[in-house]
Amino acid sequence: MRHLLSTGDLSRADAIRILDTAEEMSAVGDREVKKLPALRGRTVVNLFFEDSTRTRISFEAAAKRLSADVINFAAKGSSVSKGESLKDTAQTLAAMGADAVVIRHWASGAPHRLAATDWIDAGVINAGDGTHEHPTQALLDAFTMRRHWSKLAGIPSTGADLTGMSVAIAGDVLHSRVARSNVWLLRTLGAQVTLVAPPTLLPIGVEHWPCTVSYDLDQTLAGGVDAMMMLRVQGERMNASFFPTTREYSRRWGFDDNRLRALDTLGLKDTIIMHPGPMNRGLEISSAAADSPRSTVLAQVRNGVSVRMAALYLLLSGDTRESVPTHSKESH
Amino acid sequence: MAPQHQTGSYLIRGASILGGPAEDLLIRNGVIAARGTDPATEDGATVIDAHGLVALPGMVDIHTHLREPGREDAETVETGTRAAALGGYTAVHAMANSNPVADTAGVVEQVFSLGRTAGWADVRPVGAVTVGLAGEQLAELGAMADSRARVRVFSDDGICVSDPVLMRRALEYVKAFDGVVAQHAQEPRLTAGAQMNEGAVSAVLGLAGWPAVAEESIIARDVLLAQHVGSRLHVCHVSTAGSVEIIRWAKSRGINVTAEVTPHHLWLTDELVRSYDPVYKVNPPLRTDEDVQALRAALADGTIDVIGTDHAPHPSEHKECEWAQAAMGMTGLETALSVVQHTMIETGLMGWADFARVTSTAPAAIGRVEDQGRPLEAGEPANVILVDAAARWSVDPSKMATMGRNSPFAGRELPGKVMATFLHGHPTVLDGALNTPYRWDAADTAGRP
């Protein structure tokens, strides 16, 4: 794997290799010494053009657990207002000997530019670009779903996919990089995806996506959902007339207490509730839902480190076909 | 009218005039002195063997950004008109979005004079419709019309005259001097922050969409306004199939509207944006293949009247960046002929006579450029180009005369090469390379009425 830019680039085999590697990595987190020597002497730069403490510390923990050297580069605001271009920043990092760049950027496609140009030779991991993609988020979501789905089936998660699983993703799909990455990846892994959103928050062209679209959350739930993923809604969308009020949004598309109860009424006892965080409690998800035993919010955070370890490992280890050395024998 | 200058005599032998049988053209002192199959002789004339070449009227670009004054790091009148000459253009309309904006007689006269000094092509300045392109009050359109630059085309190009009352007034006002308003049709509210065509590709790429309706709704409004006030309207860079339908309808109703299409919109689609390479970022955006096919058909059937390059050079730092940060625009003067040959002629949609109509006759008529876009007949001004239609060349932006390196055709092999360009009887291009500029005589430089 040269770069990780979009889940759309991943074949089923690629995706399963990352998830399986992440399973091995997660075992490291259960050990007393949570560290592998795999990336000793390699330099990983977290290049963040947009604030995201959660994603940055997740990548930082992942790189450190693999013994990589980590440089955090917070280029707040736009590169133009900062006076330095993405090109100059990239060339600076190249001159410092970065082996991998984890980039978060407010502009869709910025990681593609780094990967496609000769500005820098390092491997590029997209840590969220504009309203485009967030592939490691989708991978950690899929990892979380796969553990749940395999457990229900009574099979090991390693090697499994999501065939037969029904996943609903509700919220601001139009502006969501999480939704895009999830739709491509979940489809590749065999899940059935339904997007639920007000029509104003679905992109023109969504009809070409490999999923179904609904405007009605209750109807979607009644149809049976194995995983219900709520997307964060930005308050400022309200001012742009995407929906009339946050209260109306919450009533129609939020996962509130009534819908939490409805899962029981509908007999959906194994349905999990997911959220990529940070949550707007009381808007797209109620506190009762976020804190219920169905919620996987914290497991997602935990799994994020394992998935990012896997991505960094596969990007930097050179050999993408073999499993992680040194720990697999001792850790299971 | 064709100036009477001592520009020498040239005997062009065996050129296929507008793609027809081989004939000779004798050019003397700025005019075509003779045309025929009977080899004309002229003592002292320079003989140019044009067997296998197509002779066409010098091309007229209705839509060029020369960037001077203000952005001389992007292009100057000198470099832009060198590019024009090499691309087969003998006249260009320089858009008004310079800095300062070409919204006064002083600025349009400056641009006009720079064109005269350069001598590579006739530079016809376009005047801004509104002061500073701000869309609030009319610029002094009459002063620009009466100036030495004799402005006839007015446009806020780059920005839409979106206020319907202001657009109506502009359309009405320019009737006083036979002017035309060239509208950049883009409803601003529907395109706030827009980055690319809104559709299947923008949905996947997560780039803010630029809906076709933002263009079409303005065109629909403007053709109705033009009908209501009985004015002449020109629509810049039409890019959607829906726009074509509206213009076709307007023409069928007898509305006095003309329309242009760029070479890039005749070929490229938004699929290219998947690379996130800003060389494909342009306003209006690249659309879908369905739009491309509709634009080609419309150009062939006359619904769209002219090719306008929308030549928009940018310094490299404005393209070597994130998509959202990048400037919009593509160079076009040096590739237009080839791209139109590829998309229209080699597809069988058009012949060279049609080519001459859409690249020369019609744009000269829209811009009221009297001595351009004329037939290649005895007594007519000698604005002539010779094209090797069989040539194939590979596009290398670093070798172009324009300062802009932002060609979306970089690396592609294109057909057709301009071998010679005659501007008022003088060869500005010979053997496919720049020769010498045309020199306006002192009296002419001082000013024509």
ipTM of the complex: 0.91
Whether residues B32 and B91 fall in one domain: no
Q: What is the pLDDT of residue A237?
A: 75
The string of pLDDT tens digits covering residues B143-163 is 999 999 999 999 999 999 999
The CATH number of the domain holding residue B275 is 3.20.20.140
CA angle in degrees (0–180, nearest 5) for A125-A141-A295: 140
For residue A239, pLDDT over 80 is answered with no
The string of pLDDT tens digits covering residues A164-187 is 999 999 999 999 999 999 999 999
| CA distances (Å), origin A131, targets A180, A289, B54, B324 | 9, 26, 50, 12
The reply to whether B212 falls in a domain is yes
Q: What is the pLDDT of residue B6?
A: 66
In this structure, are strands B426-430 and B233-235 parallel, antiparallel, or unpaired?
unpaired
- Suggest the residue from A117, A131, A187, A204 to mutate for an interface test with chain B (most B CBs closer than 10 A): A204
The reply to whether B301 falls in a domain is yes
Number of neighbours of residue A182 by Cβ within 10 angstroms = 32
The reply to whether B449 falls in a domain is no
Chain A: which residues have CB within 8 Å of chain B?
8, 78-80, 85-87, 105-110, 112-113, 116-117, 129-133, 177, 180, 203-206, 208-209
B209 contacts in A (CB within 8 Å)? 203-204
The chain B residue lying nearest A105, using CA atoms, is: B322
Of the candidates B324, B330, B366, B350, the one whose C-alpha atom is nearest the C-alpha of residue B155 is: B366
Whether residues B46 and B66 fall in one domain: no
Please give the Cα distance from A10 to A100 (Å, whole number): 19
A314, containing H or E segment:
helix A297-316
Q: What is the pLDDT of residue B50?
A: 97
Q: Per-residue confidence at B40, pLDDT binned at 50, 70, 90?
A: low
Domain boundary among the residues B367, B397, B416 is at: B367
A232: tokens are 């964060």
The string of pLDDT tens digits covering residues A68-114 is 999 998 876 544 455 678 999 999 999 999 999 999 999 999 999 99
Domain boundary among the residues B313, B336, B367 is at: B367
The reply to whether B372 falls in a domain is no
Q: Residue B212 carries which side chain, given as an amino acid letter?
A: A
Please check whether residue B213 touches A, CB under 8 A: no
Please check whether residue B203 touches A, CB under 8 A: yes
Whether residues B265 and B410 fall in one domain: no
A vs B: CB pairs below 8 A: 84
Measured between CA atoms, how close is B320 to chain A, in angstroms? 7
The reply to whether B316 falls in a domain is yes
Residue B142's Cβ-count burial label (10 Å; 0-12, 13-18, 19+) is middle
Q: Can you list the positions of beta strands (E) in A166-260?
A: 166-170, 192-196, 212-214, 227-230
Q: What is the pLDDT of residue B441?
A: 73
Measured between CA atoms, how close is A11 to chain B, in angstroms? 17
Q: What is the pLDDT of residue B134?
A: 98
The string of pLDDT tens digits covering residues A41-58 is 999 999 999 888 899 999
Whether residues B325 and B430 fall in one domain: no
- Suggest the residue from A50, A113, A182 to mutate for an interface test with chain B (most B CBs closer than 10 A): A113
Q: What is the pLDDT of residue B447?
A: 45
Output A236 or A10, whichever has higher pLDDT. Answer: A10
The string of pLDDT tens digits covering residues B183-239 is 999 999 999 999 999 999 999 999 999 999 999 999 999 999 999 999 999 999 999
Q: What is the pLDDT of residue B347?
A: 98
- Suggest the residue from B189, B276, B319 to mutate for an interface test with chain A (most A CBs closer than 10 A): B276
Please check whether residue B207 touches A, CB under 8 A: yes
Q: For this structure, is B122 an active site residue?
A: no
Q: What is the mean pLDDT of residues A148-169?
A: 97
Q: Per-residue confidence at A3, pLDDT binned at 50, 70, 90?
A: very high
Answer for the pair B150, B178: CB distance below 8 angstroms, yes or no. Answer: no
B47, containing H or E segment:
strand B46-49
The CATH number of the domain holding residue B390 is 2.30.40.10
A77 contacts in B (CB within 8 Å)? none
Whether residues B238 and B98 fall in one domain: yes
Please give the Cα distance from B93 to B89 (Å, whole number): 11
- The stretches of B3-74 forming alpha helices (DSSP H) are none
B285 contacts in A (CB within 8 Å)? none
For residue A325, pLDDT over 90 is answered with no
The string of pLDDT tens digits covering residues B78-90 is 999 999 999 999 9
Q: What is the pLDDT of residue A77?
A: 53
For residue B3, pLDDT over 50 is answered with no
- Gyration radius of chain A's alpha carbons: 20
The chain A residue lying nearest B189, using CA atoms, is: A240
Could you tell me which residues come within 8 angstroms of residue B224 by beta carbon, excluding any fewer than 6 positions away?
Answer: none
Q: Per-residue confidence at B440, pLDDT binned at 50, 70, 90?
A: confident
A124 contacts in B (CB within 8 Å)? none
Q: Per the CB < 8 Å rule, is A86 touching B322?
A: yes
Residues, chain B: 449
Output A1 or A218, whichever has higher pLDDT. Answer: A218
Q: Residue B315 carries which side chain, given as an amino acid letter?
A: P
The chain A residue lying nearest B322, using CA atoms, is: A110
The reply to whether B385 falls in a domain is yes
Please give the Cα distance from B141 to B105 (Å, whole number): 9
Q: What is the pLDDT of residue B125?
A: 98
A86 contacts in B (CB within 8 Å)? 321-322, 325
Whether residues B296 and B355 fall in one domain: yes
Residue B235 dihedral angles phi and psi, to the nearest 5°: -105, 120
Q: What is the pLDDT of residue A85?
A: 87
Structural domain span for residue B298:
58-367
Cross-strand bridge partners of residue B55? B17, B386
- Suggest the residue from A103, A108, A114 to mutate for an interface test with chain B (most B CBs closer than 10 A): A108
Query: How many domains does one find in chain B?
Result: 2
Q: What is the mean pLDDT of residues A142-166?
A: 97
The chain A residue lying nearest B206, using CA atoms, is: A132
Taking phi over 0 as left and psi of -120 to 50 as alpha, with beta for the rest, B310 belongs to: left
Please give the Cα distance from B64 to B362 (Å, whole number): 16
Q: Which residues of A270-304 are buried (b: 16+ CB within 10 A; e: fewer)?
A: ebbbbbbeebbeebbbbeebbeeebbbbebbbebb
Q: What is the pLDDT of residue A74?
A: 86
Residue B165 dihedral angles phi and psi, to the nearest 5°: -70, -45
Residues, chain A: 332
- The stretches of B103-199 forming alpha helices (DSSP H) are 105-118, 141-146, 164-173
- The catalytic residue among B156, B157, B310, B371 is B310
Q: List, as one string, the DSSP characters of A15-27.
A: HHHHHHHHHHHHH
The chain B residue lying nearest A206, using CA atoms, is: B203
Please check whether residue B201 touches A, CB under 8 A: yes
Please give the Cα distance from A209 to A225 (Å, whole number): 19
pTM: predicted TM-score of the whole model, two decimal places = 0.94
The chain A residue lying nearest B198, using CA atoms, is: A204
User: Widest CA span of chain B, in angstroms?
Assistant: 67
Sheet containing strand B180-183, strands side by side: B153-154, B180-183, B233-235, B257-261, B306-307
Please give the Cα distance from A131 to A202 (Å, whole number): 12
Q: Per the CB < 8 Å rule, is A87 touching B203?
A: no
B12: tokens are 């062009």
Q: Per-residue confidence at B448, pLDDT binned at 50, 70, 90?
A: very low
For residue A328, pLDDT over 60 is answered with no
Whether residues B318 and B426 fall in one domain: no
For residue B446, pLDDT over 50 is answered with no
Complete domains list, chain A, with CATH: 7-132+304-331 (3.40.50.1370), 135-299 (3.40.50.1370)
For residue A297, pLDDT over 90 is answered with yes
Whether residues B62 and B89 fall in one domain: yes
Of the candidates B282, B72, B316, the one whose C-alpha atom is nearest the C-alpha of residue A85 is: B316
The reply to whether B358 falls in a domain is yes
Whether residues B117 and B29 fall in one domain: no
For residue A64, pLDDT over 90 is answered with yes
B202 contacts in A (CB within 8 Å)? 203-205
Number of neighbours of residue A83 by Cβ within 10 angstroms = 7
In chain B, which among 258-317 make CB contacts under 8 A with chain A?
Answer: 275-277, 317
Q: Which residue in the block uniquely carries the two structure tokens 């172009």?
A: B400
B314: tokens are 């940018």
Domain boundary among the residues B367, B390, B406 is at: B367
Please check whether residue B214 touches A, CB under 8 A: no
Answer for the pair B200, A208: CB distance below 8 angstroms, yes or no. Answer: yes
A145: tokens are 């779903």
Please give the Cα distance from A29 to A22 (Å, whole number): 11
Whether residues B74 and B47 fall in one domain: no
Whether residues B250 and B390 fall in one domain: no
Q: Which residues of A94-115 are buried (b: 16+ CB within 10 A; e: fewer)?
A: beeebbbbbbbbbbbbbbbbbb
Q: Per the CB < 8 Å rule, is B276 touching A209?
A: no
Q: Residue B438 carries which side chain, given as an amino acid letter?
A: Y
Q: What is the pLDDT of residue A311?
A: 98
Please give the Cα distance from A232 to A54 (Å, whole number): 14
Q: Per the CB < 8 Å rule, is B206 touching A206?
A: no
Whether residues B73 and B148 fall in one domain: yes
The chain B residue lying nearest A128, using CA atoms, is: B206
Q: Measure CA A11 to chain center.
A: 17
The reply to whether B335 falls in a domain is yes
